[in-house]
Chains A and B, each alone.
Chain A
Amino acid sequence: MTKNMIMGGLAVFVLAVLSPFWFNMVTTTQAAPEPELLGPAKEAKKCVLDTYDMRANHMSLLDEWRDAVVRDADRIYVSANGHAFNMSLSTGENSCLGCHEDKAKFCDACHTYTSVDPYCWECHTNPKEIE
């Protein structure tokens, strides 16, 4: 094999391996949507955890919550900031959807953007969607 063939092959290989990066540089990417705070959530200005933690860990928080509610019958979460929350996705004013009224703008916007399809809504209902 000649030196040229080897160098050519390497160049093709490098191009192929880095193709996702080239692709991203060429195509325009949409900015990640910001979850919109509406209604009571906007006024409350205090969530279960601080914003960064909530963004990073809300899924494990919800997982903890469902175990606490179903298995230990503990239903109130007193967070570190001293506020008490109803450990529920959608029931009552003090639940997730009770405060964040618009599921489409608050949950779905990000989930759709990141192609995450949580199966929570197969059983839990969004009170606003029930006619």
Chain B
Amino acid sequence: MEKSRRRFLKVAGIAAIGLGAAPAINFAASDSHGSGAAAKVKNETALHAERWGMVIDIKKIDDNLARKISLACHLHHNVPDFTHEVNTQLYPKTRPVNHKQEIKWIWKEEFHYAFPDKEDEFLNEKFHHLPFMVLCNHCKNAPCVQACPTQATFSREDGIVMMDYHRCIGCRFCMAACPYGSRSFNFRDPRPFIDETDPDFPTRSKGVVEKCNFCAERLAKGEQPHCVEASEGAIVVGDLEDPESDVRKLLKEHYTIRRKQSLGTEPSVYYIV
């Protein structure tokens, strides 16, 4: 091989870069805060599931209980109630409310609205009066997740379809995509319409879509969702993928239906009728 001065300088230059880079990389990778490295971890008591699901026993729910369930959920998640009289001293410029701007996470629905594809001319009369509790179905193939342009709505690994309110730009594509009407939009600042603010959960702001989050904040602490606690045993949540779980046992024992199954969204909420 020819040994020219030019070639020697080239090799020396590359070697120098290598020697210089090692300490720089070490410096960048080192932790400037002292001994250990910081870590973000889950609560030890957190509940886990492959895919969270819910079974609602409609026969156990009457109008009273239905109201109690909605109230428990809405109260603890600071869901605004537009029938609430606004404190005019605190919020002097609040306009009257359009009822179409209603916000809800879990509510009572009639059978023929909740299950339009299961309607029957000679349907058993009792179905028309049963209070079907409807909420976000946390679908396996959630159309809202596909529609969201900012990934503010996303599917968690455990099957919960979550809203990241920080990223929501209020385009409402998800509302158009959701076949269950489970999403609400904050056309206005919700705070004047919250009677008692629960400090454990943030309120939302104007221009943000919101919906049921399966009480992800409670599951993370090892607690059951608010609706389950309020339901006196009518609502059960658990792991759909675990054959030994409570929800799977209920599904084995009872005939259940899901909402708009033909759309292929694979809802995770089952109804015992």
A residues lining the B interface (CB < 8 Å)? 49-50, 53, 64-66, 68, 70-82, 87, 90-92, 119, 122-127, 130
- CB within 8 Å for A123 and B40 given contacts A70-B164, A70-B166, A80-B33: no
- CB within 8 Å for A130 and B40 given contacts A50-B33, A123-B205: no
Closest A residue to B189 by beta carbon equals A122
Contact, CB under 8 Å: A71 / B164: yes
B residues lining the A interface (CB < 8 Å)? 31-43, 46, 154, 156, 158, 162, 164-166, 189, 197, 199-205, 216, 220
Q: Residues of A contacting B202 with CB < 8 Å?
A: 123-125
**Of the residues B38, B154, B166, contact of A79 by C-beta under 8 Å:** B38
**Of the residues B36, B40, B201, contact of A68 by C-beta under 8 Å:** B40
A75 CA to B47 CA, complexed, in Å: 13
Further 16 A-B residue pairs, CB within 8 A, beyond A71-B162, A71-B164, A75-B46: A50-B33, A53-B32, A53-B33, A64-B40, A65-B40, A73-B46, A74-B41, A75-B42, A77-B39, A78-B39, A81-B34, A90-B199, A92-B200, A123-B165, A125-B202, A126-B199
What 7 A-B pairs have minimum CB-CB distances, sorted nearest first? A80-B33, A127-B199, A123-B202, A74-B40, A122-B205, A68-B40, A124-B202
Contact, CB under 8 Å: B197 / A73: no
Closest A residue to B200 by beta carbon equals A91
